[in-house]
Amino acid sequence: MQITFASSKDTATRLVARIIARDSFPADLPAHVREGAEAARFAGKAGQVFETWYEEGGRLVRLALAGCGNGNGEALAGHAGTERAGAALAAKYLTSGESALVLDLTGSGLTAEQTAGALVGLSLRSWRWDAYRTKLKDEQKRSLDKVIVIGAPDGAEAAWDVEAAVVKGVEFTRELVTEPANILYPESFVARARERFAGTGVAIEVLGEDEMRELGMGALLGVSQGSVRKPQLLVMKWLGGKPDDKPALLVGKGVTFDTGGISLKPPAGMEDMKWDMGGAGAVTGAMLAIAGRKAKANVIGVCGLVENMPDGNAQRPGDVVTTMSGQTVEVINTDAEGRLVLCDAMTWAQGQFAPDVMVELSTLTGAMMIALGSEHGGLFSNSDALADQLLAAGKDSGDKLWRFPLSPAYDKLIDSPIADMKNVGPRYAGSITAAQFLQRFVNEGVDWAHLDIAGMVWADKPGATWDKGATGYGVRLLDRFVRETREG
């Protein structure tokens, strides 16, 4: 979406939108427009849209009123209400035949932050991936590609410049999560990251299969050994803070396709497992956002990228692997592969970068989807302070989290009779035992959080700021966390 700021209306643009607070119609709104809106029960609730037509100066105007609410239950604080308003406009007019929209904020009373929020909503809800759709009907094709903002408050353009970088990060994550596994696999994931990060100031490093074998990453390599696709460890370094500041470490699970391996998943719905790299996608998009807005912080992103396939060389249930940390794991279920990828990635990254904080994201367990559905990501942490920071960042960004317990009482559920641990416990507390497994690979003195985002990276129906498909969850959460805790 192309967004520009102007001082006056472009008379060539027919579609004009106004953002309306609840029960607060602007004084300059024509009387018949207000009467029509009230008759249609439009009250400015967050996400409501009312459309009408009228003549002005000999031309026909297509006027849309978008509600942003007022914070009383149906609209959130800050920019969230205007974000819902912008997203509702995008949903309604993306395929309307209109190519441009004038967003008239004259007399709206919106702040710079709220204005940027409206543009975030417009941009995010406009994102679609039509690369493989060759037979769309005209009425299905995207037409709206330009927004002209007039009457914006002071500072709005600068605020939008910052948020535009975050939008690009979300869009990149959605692209990665949406791509099919024959297009996006570990090596092509790395190639796309290299292309997108060119010129951003992010330094890219990649470890291949031979290097990981020399380092002793037996758990990660065990997952990948059944696939012809070679594993990769993608490292993205943004050093925008002080030289002596410890970095924040972001780690993402990147299983570019997960068949379950020898513990094969049922065929129904297996096509969804292209998004089992959603954690890596979120970390990569967040790094693009952080670099794009030139964050004054040191942040390292590390993604373990593998494909989990069931060929004759695949890992078997009952195998024992030795992790880079030296701890051994009995592989009970080859479909509990994400934690095997993450444990080696975490071990290497902590040793390499000595972070004080490590946040890991992964589409790790189906049990998390049972517990939280698609409303919250699950949060586990060894630090109350870090957990509180992430919960606050989730609330502010809209990428919501809910905290779960960690306790030594759960450790016995993953004890193995022949190795240091099993990679899966019994049916109950499956998300917790997965977190307990990962905690065993956290170095002393590192504040760590595990975010199980299995229910959040893909949506079966449209949401406020996304269409059906990839949501981009995690990018805004991580960016907000870095803003609020790592930048001065």
DSSP codes of every residue in 171-201: HHHHHHHHS-TTT--HHHHHHHHHHHHTTTT
* CA–CA dist 381, 217 (Å, integer): 24
Summarize pLDDT for 44-100 with one digit per residue, the tens.
Answer: 999 999 999 988 888 899 999 999 997 544 444 468 999 999 999 999 999 999 999
- Annotated catalytic residue 146: no
* CA–CA dist 343, 297 (Å, integer): 25
Find out whether 236 and 193 touch, Cβ atoms under 8 Å: yes
Q: Which two tokens stand for residue 91?
A: 């949903």
**Catalytic residue from among 339, 422, 483, 486:** 339
Find out whether 119 and 83 touch, Cβ atoms under 8 Å: no
Predicted pLDDT at 283: 99
Please list, residue by residue across 39-55, b when 16 or more beta carbons sit within 10 angstroms of its beta carbon and e when fewer do.
eeebbbbbbbbbbbeee
> pLDDT band at residue 10, thresholds of 50, 70 and 90?
confident
* CA–CA dist 130, 23 (Å, integer): 38
Summarize pLDDT for 136-157 with one digit per residue, the tens.
Answer: 999 999 999 999 999 999 999 9
pLDDT > 90 in the chain, percent: 93
* CA–CA dist 284, 385 (Å, integer): 25
Q: Which two tokens stand for residue 176?
A: 């990665």
Number of other residues whose CB lies within 10 A of the CB of residue 245: 15
Please report, for the chain, the start and end positions of each structural domain, with discontinuous segments joined by +. 2-154, 164-485
Q: What is the dihedral of CA 207, 286, 437, 409, to 10 degrees?
A: 160
2-154 against 164-485: fold identical: no
Predicted pLDDT at 223: 98
Find out whether 125 and 118 touch, Cβ atoms under 8 Å: no
- Measured over the CA atoms of residue 46, residue 50, residue 51 and residue 52, the dihedral's sign is negative
Q: What angle do CA 237, 239, 243 make, to 5 degrees?
A: 135
CATH code of the domain occupying 2-154: 3.40.220.10
Predicted pLDDT at 211: 98
Number of residues written out for the chain:
488
Summarize pLDDT for 239-255 with one digit per residue, the tens.
Answer: 999 999 999 999 999 99
* CA–CA dist 292, 288 (Å, integer): 6
Which of these ranges, 75-89, 319-333, 455-469, has the smallest mean pLDDT?
75-89
Angle separating helix axes 112-126 and 156-178, nearest 10 degrees: 20
Q: What is the dihedral of CA 191, 193, 196, 197, to 10 degrees?
A: -120
Predicted pLDDT at 57: 83
* CA–CA dist 295, 158 (Å, integer): 15
**Catalytic residue from among 92, 194, 230, 265:** 265
Predicted pLDDT at 78: 63
* CA–CA dist 360, 377 (Å, integer): 12
Which one, of 272, 192, 173, 185, lies nearest residue 224 by Cα?
185
Predicted pLDDT at 74: 47
Predicted pLDDT at 73: 46
User: Is 131 strand, coil or helix?
Assistant: coil
Predicted pLDDT at 12: 82
201: left (phi over 0), alpha (psi -120 to 50) or beta: left
- Annotated catalytic residue 62: no
DSSP class of 66: E
Question: Is the whole-model pTM more than 0.75?
Answer: yes
Average pLDDT of the residues of the chain: 96
Angle separating helix axes 384-397 and 475-485, nearest 10 degrees: 120
Find out whether 282 and 359 touch, Cβ atoms under 8 Å: no
* CA–CA dist 343, 232 (Å, integer): 15
* CA–CA dist 256, 183 (Å, integer): 10
Per-residue pLDDT, averaged over 357-384, amounts to 98
Per-residue pLDDT, averaged over 335-361, amounts to 98
Which one, of 316, 314, 340, lies nearest residue 329 by Cα?
340
Fold of the domain built from segment(s) 164-485: Aminopeptidase (3.40.630)
Predicted pLDDT at 315: 98
Per-residue pLDDT, averaged over 376-384, amounts to 98
